[in-house]
Structure 1
Amino acid sequence: MIIKENQLDIDEINTEDVLAVEDNNMQYKDAIFFDLEHYVYKKPKCVGVFGCCYYDEVKDKLIVTQYMIENREEGKDILLMAENYFKVMQEKYNKKYIVTFSGNNDFSVINYLFNQNGVKYNILENFKHIDLQREYEKVIKRGVGLKALEKIFDIEREGELIAGSNLAKTFHKVMKDSEYFSRMPKEKVEKILQYNEQDVVNLFHIYVKWNKYINKLREQIELENSILESEKLSETEIDNNSEATI
């Protein structure tokens, strides 16, 4: 099992920019930010990478934790480590919220695997879910993907993007061949971990800069709609004048 922990510096947080949920814009202090890389074929097979981070107010840093399996036998181990992580976050650090981007799929996968492996833990019974995709759609009334949302928030990723299908193929091979991981280039392992780390870290950055970019986007959309409405009115006036001339 690869266990990786990292502490990242963050920019100063302007509380006026932070997403307010239930009329509270300080919930980022009580939240964990969560993403999985997994393998599903007809039904969930494994969690390949577990990634989470939280804001440490004392250190003023993001604390990132990742677990990555190296073989089939670690399929249950990573679930037990995930369960322990959630319990520690709740009981020791008093975390109450879990932030994702379209996280229902990840919850379905991990809860299914918990059940299959006798792990009696349900994330959504212990944390209140804040889904940034859903929060975006409430305001903008349009769908959006995480990478597109990152662009809206001027977030530039380091390294290359990895398709979910490629990650699934990798963990399928890890589950099938006990020696596959040892043959994987170290650079590939690091790319996968970096990709997952940026997923969870970027959730935090989007959360605490929410109003700054969402308000700007809302104004842009309102302007576009206003222009379209003006164009429609102009077209109607031209049509009416044409009819009057005839």
Structure 2
Amino acid sequence: MIYKNDVIKIESFSLEYALYVDGNREAFRDAVFFDLEHYVYKKPICVGVFGACCYNNGELQVTQYMIENKKDSIKILEIAEQYFKKQKNENGKKYLVTFSGNNDYTIIKYLFEKNGIDFDINEQFIHVDLQKYYEKYVGVCTGLKKLEKIFEINRESELISGTNLAKTFSKIVKDDDYINRMSKDKIEKILLYNEQDIVSLFHMYINWNKYVSNN
């Protein structure tokens, strides 16, 4: 398993621009910003990268796990369960912030059940899907990369298609030695891509009212 932990300093921001959730503009303090990279062929096969971050004391604390072989495809689910439980029970997190997160929810729920992991994130967290919030206020359904442009977010990572990611994870679960033939640069690009997704979620959340009506 590849593990990456990162800390990103966040410049000061105005609460007046933050998304209003449950009558609270500071719900982001109690939130996990969450995104999966995965492999699906007719049905979910595996989570390739689990990425999440939380805001604490002016910093985003980023946690990522990436599989290296087929055995890790089960281990990453166990780690995800432990992460969610810790954030809820020890750190008091109540919300999961995603972009078009129903897909990730469906995949991880299916894989949890398939592997005997008794944890339902729908019951444990309140889901805040920024794609749905945007569609509700603007009346248009859009993708994450287009919304980043609207929010003037300059992505550091290269764009990677879901198809290319799925092909990579397919090779990893079918060939235990494939990860050793992958360049470190490719692995870093995948992790950076996933990190950018979850960091973008945070920046869109706290700057929501600069770009989207929230009445």
Bucket of the pairwise TM-score, normalised by the shorter protein: over 0.9
- The 5-angstrom pairing of residues 163-174 of structure 1 reads 163-174=161-172
Rounded to whole Å, the distance in 2 between the matches of 1:126 and 1:202 is 24
Aligned-pair CA distance for 1:23? 2.1
Give the alignment of 1:219-234 within 5 angstroms: none
SS in 2 for 1:16: helix
Alpha-carbon separation, structure 2, partners of 1:186 and 1:22: 42
Q: CA deviation at 1:143?
A: 1.1
Partner of 1:134: 132
How far did residue 22 of structure 1 move?
2.3
- 1:107-134: CA deviations, max 9, x gaps? 1101100011111101111000000000
Letter in 1 for 2:170: H
Question: Any residues of structure 2 matched to 1:25-44 within 5 Å, and which?
Answer: 25-44=25-44
Match of 2:7 in 1: 7
- The unaligned stretches of length 5 or more in structure 2 are none
Percentage of matched positions with identical amino acids:
56
Q: Kindly provide the CA deviation profile for residues 127-177 of structure 1, in whole angstroms up to 9, marking residues without a partner as x.
A: 000000000011101111000000000001113100000000000000111
Of 187, 190, 193, which residue of structure 2 is paired with 1:189? 187
Partner of residue 48, structure 2: 48
| Amino acid in structure 2 at the alignment position of 1:39 | Y
Which residue in the other structure is 1:222 paired with? none
- Once the two structures are superposed, the pairs formed by residues 135-150 of structure 1 within 5 Å of their partners are 135-150=133-148
Size of the aligned set, in residue pairs, is: 214
**Residues 32, 52 of structure 2: 8 Å contact kept:** yes
Which structure has the bigger radius of gyration? Answer: 1
C-alpha distance in 2 between matches for 1:10 and 1:149: 20
Match of 1:204 in 2: 202
Unaligned runs of 5+ in 1: 219-246
Higher helix residue share: 1
Counterpart of 1:84? 82
Task: Please tell me the residue identity of whatever aligns with 1:192.
Answer: I
Cα separation, 2, equivalents of 1:134 and 1:24? 18
Cα distance between partner residues in 2 of 1:166 and 1:80: 25
Q: Which has the higher contact order (CA 8 A, sep 6+)?
A: 2
Deviates more, 1:16-25 or 1:32-41: 16-25
TM, length-normalised to structure 2: 0.98
Q: Is the 8 A contact 2:157 2:196 kept in 1?
A: no
Q: Please give the alpha-carbon distance, in whole angstroms, between the structure 2 residues aligned to 1:23 and 1:6.
A: 31
Return the letter of the residue paired with 1:165: T
2:73 is matched with 75
Determine the C-alpha separation between the residues in 2 that align with 1:159 and 1:30. 27
Letter in 2 for 1:158: E
Q: Report the AA paired with residue 168 of structure 1.
A: A
Task: Write out the 4+ residue segments of structure 1 that deviate beyond 3 Å after TM superposition.
Answer: none
How far apart are 1:39 and its partner, in Å? 0.2
